[in-house]
């Protein structure tokens, strides 16, 4: 099947401005090293494994189709940043990451690291979602804005369903560690809303990036 050529993404061995052959491989090596470091003595080994199932799948797909579908270096950088932060959450569990201690912030109240990760899911992965949609579809007009945001929201909602399923299947401490509601009955809705907000912010930043490079 012939795939249309769009800004920021290339196919079958070709490269476009903003892409390099080695850069994604360097990032893959870096995230592999970081992931291995975060895999040492995780706080909750079973939760660590659950948290990384989708990471294994996602990275596997990126590697599997790298020869046919390449994103911009900008998108690969954003994906790398998200996976690095996610690895920290998996190591400690999202509800127990001591980020406030690292930043010298007050320690009382809810641990918001999980909220931050959901926002960054929309923000950091939006460029890759945009480039994927542009490569696989011929979206025009307002759909160039609404389709990527809708895709992020749908994937975020799917993840919330996976978290709920984990609670149903595993229950107990493992299910609660994976879900991480911290007593908030609206946790799933807040997480999805933050992913949507992150997507809108990510879309804005990506458009600014495109215009800075003379792309439409």
Q: What is the pLDDT of residues 66-82, one digit of tens each?
A: 888 889 999 999 999 99
pLDDT of residue 29: 94
How high is the pLDDT of residue 106? 82
Which of 58, 106, 49, 111 is CA-nearest to residue 80?
58
DSSP 184: -
134 contacts: CB under 8 Å, gap ≥ 6:
4, 6, 7, 8, 9, 144
pLDDT at 2: 39
What was the pLDDT predicted at 5?
44
Angle at CA 129, nearest 5°, toward 126 and 132? 150
Domain assignments of the chain as residue spans, ordered by start: 23-212
Supply the pLDDT for residue 26: 94
Half-sphere exposure of 1 (CA within 13 A, CB side): 7
- Per DSSP, 1 falls in state -
Task: Give the confidence band of 8 by pLDDT, cuts at 50, 70, 90.
Answer: low
Burial of 87 (0-12, 13-18, 19+ CB in 10 A): buried
Where do we find the tokens 């990760």?
A: 117
pLDDT surpassing 80 at residue 184: no
**What number of helices (H) and strands (E) belong to the chain?**
8, 0
Confidence of residue 12 (pLDDT cuts 50, 70, 90): very low
The 3-class secondary structure across 38-106, one letter per residue, is: HCCCCCCHHHHHHHHHHHHHHHHHHHHCCCCCECCHHHHHHHHHHHHHHHHHHHHCCCCCCHHHHHCCC
pLDDT at 150: 93
**pLDDT given for residue 128 in this prediction:** 94
Pick 131 or 166 by higher pLDDT. Answer: 131
Query: Residue 18: which pLDDT band, with cuts at 50, 70 and 90?
Result: low
CA distance 180 to 118: 12
pTM comes to 0.85
Which region among 73-87, 98-112, 197-211 has the lowest average model confidence (pLDDT)?
98-112
More confident call, 89 vs 188 = 89
**What is the mean predicted confidence (pLDDT) over 9-15?**
50
**What mean pLDDT is reported for the chain?**
85
Q: What is the pLDDT of residue 13?
A: 45
| Alpha carbon distance 214, 216 (integer Å) | 7
Distance of CA 128 to the CA centre of its chain: 9
């Amino acid at each position: 099947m012939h795939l249309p050529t769009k800004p920021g993404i290339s196919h079958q061995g070709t490269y476009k401005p903003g892409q390099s052959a080695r850069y994604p491989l360097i990032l893959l090596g870096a995230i592999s090293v970081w992931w291995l470091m975060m895999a040492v003595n995780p706080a909750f080994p079973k939760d660590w494994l659950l948290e990384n199932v989708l990471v294994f799948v996602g990275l596997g797909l990126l590697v599997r189709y790298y020869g046919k579908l390449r994103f911009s270096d900008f998108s690969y950088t954003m994906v790398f940043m998200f996976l690095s932060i996610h690895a920290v959450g998996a190591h400690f569990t999202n509800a127990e990451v001591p980020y406030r201690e690292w930043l010298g912030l007050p320690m009382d109240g809810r641990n918001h690291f999980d909220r931050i990760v959901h926002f960054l899911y929309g923000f950091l992965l939006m460029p890759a979602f945009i480039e994927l949609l542009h490569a696989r579809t011929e979206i025009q007009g307002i759909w160039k804005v609404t389709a990527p945001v809708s895709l992020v929201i749908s994937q975020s909602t799917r993840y919330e369903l996976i978290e709920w399923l984990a609670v149903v299947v595993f229950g107990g401490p493992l299910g609660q560690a994976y879900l991480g509601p911290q007593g908030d009955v609206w946790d799933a809705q807040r997480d999805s809303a933050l992913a949507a907000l992150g997507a809108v912010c990510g879309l804005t930043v990506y458009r600014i990036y495109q215009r800075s490079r003379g792309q439409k």
